[in-house]
Structure 1
Amino acid sequence: MEQEGYVSLWVGNFSSNEELQKYLLNTYDEDGNAAASAFEEEYKIDDHDSDFREADCFKTGSRQLSILLSGCSYEDVVIPLFTEIQGEELPYSVNSIILLYNFKYSEKGGREPSHVHYLGSVRYK
């Protein structure tokens, strides 16, 4: 849920950046009402501000969190905090990241995620 100063991280695999963006895309009906994206449905996220989201799909995968998070906002703080809770290497290679800033996700269950896995939330400021 939205919480100032926290960032939540998901990692996964997509065939392209377009596929990742489609996974994150909210659609609207003719009355202008937003429908949840596939990402929001999978993780039962009611609302988040997409202006505080970073998502990227890389050409090659990596198991190294520091490589995957290199260049993200607040990287000097975020990378050490996530490697502290997760370890430097993931048990599997991924090519995509999703970061929601000012958002502290609390696991709610729901359907089995198909594209991304939640790694955790850390306080970045």
Structure 2
Amino acid sequence: MECFEEGKVSVWYGVFCSDEELSAYLSIDYSDVSENSWQSGFLTDFTISSFDEDFSERVFWESEAERNDVEGVSYVESFMTPLLEDLRHIDGVINSLFFVYDCNAANVTASSDARMRLLSVYHYKKRYGLLS
């Protein structure tokens, strides 16, 4: 399923042992030249045919105390309030977030044993130049 929608960011959450494990789960294997053969743990878990890795980013927290630290996330100032509100409603421990920009994954289905869960889809605004 294609999830492209400009101005939307889909955010998933999960638990991983390390940033390296999260990175390995998200990394797409491009060794097969056929686009339909590209694989990653993430693509296997969700019905997304592909996404542009250049417009995605991950956050891994070493401790629960860092859970709301998303300041370095691109464009987060445009969706910080609803993101933090949604994070507060998650029961249990999480230590990872994955952001895919220009993607609306609201209708994407997950496998029953997916390593991540969709938190929500937010509208975001790109900001160019210096902020005053």
Name the TM-score, length of structure 1 as normaliser. 0.83
Query: Please, which moves more after superposition, 2-11 or 34-43?
Result: 34-43
Opposite residue 77 of structure 2, the aligned amino acid is D
Letter in 2 for 1:56: V
- Asked whether 1:44 is paired with 2:44, we answer no
Alpha-carbon distance between aligned partners in 2 of 1:3 and 1:16, rounded to the nearest angstrom: 30
Identical counterparts, % of pairs: 26
Query: Quick check: which one's strand share is greater?
Result: 1
Write the letter of the residue equivalent to 2:123: R
Question: C-alpha distance in 2, partners of 1:91/1:60?
Answer: 16
Work out the CA distance in 2 between the residues paired with 1:8 and 1:88: 17
**Secondary structure at the residue paired with 1:106?**
coil
Describe the superposition over 1:59-114 as per-residue Cα deviations: whole angstroms up to 9, x where unpaired. 113595xx142321112122113245x26342122111100011111334342143
1:34-73 to structure 2, matched below 5 A, reads: 34-61=37-64, 64=67, 67-73=68-74
2:75 alignment counterpart: 74
Q: Which residue is equivalent to 1:114?
A: 114
Gaps of at least 5 residues in structure 1 are: none
Three-state SS of the structure 1 residue aligned to 2:82 is helix
Q: Is the 8 A contact 2:46 2:114 kept in 1?
A: no
Counterpart CA distance in 2 for 1:58 and 1:83 is 15
Maintained 8 Å contact 2:48/2:108 = no
Greater mean alpha carbon deviation, residues 36-45 or residues 54-63: 54-63
Tell me the residue number matched to 1:26.
28
* SS at 2:7 equivalent: strand
Q: Per the alignment, do residues 96 and 110 of structure 1 end up closer, same or farther by CA in structure 2, a change over 3 Å counting?
A: closer
- Give the superposed CA RMSD: 2.1
Taking the aligned partners of 2:98 and 2:107, their CA distance within structure 1 comes to 16
Question: How many residue pairs are counted as aligned between the two chains?
Answer: 121
Quick check: 2:15–2:95 contact (8 Å CA) kept in 1? yes
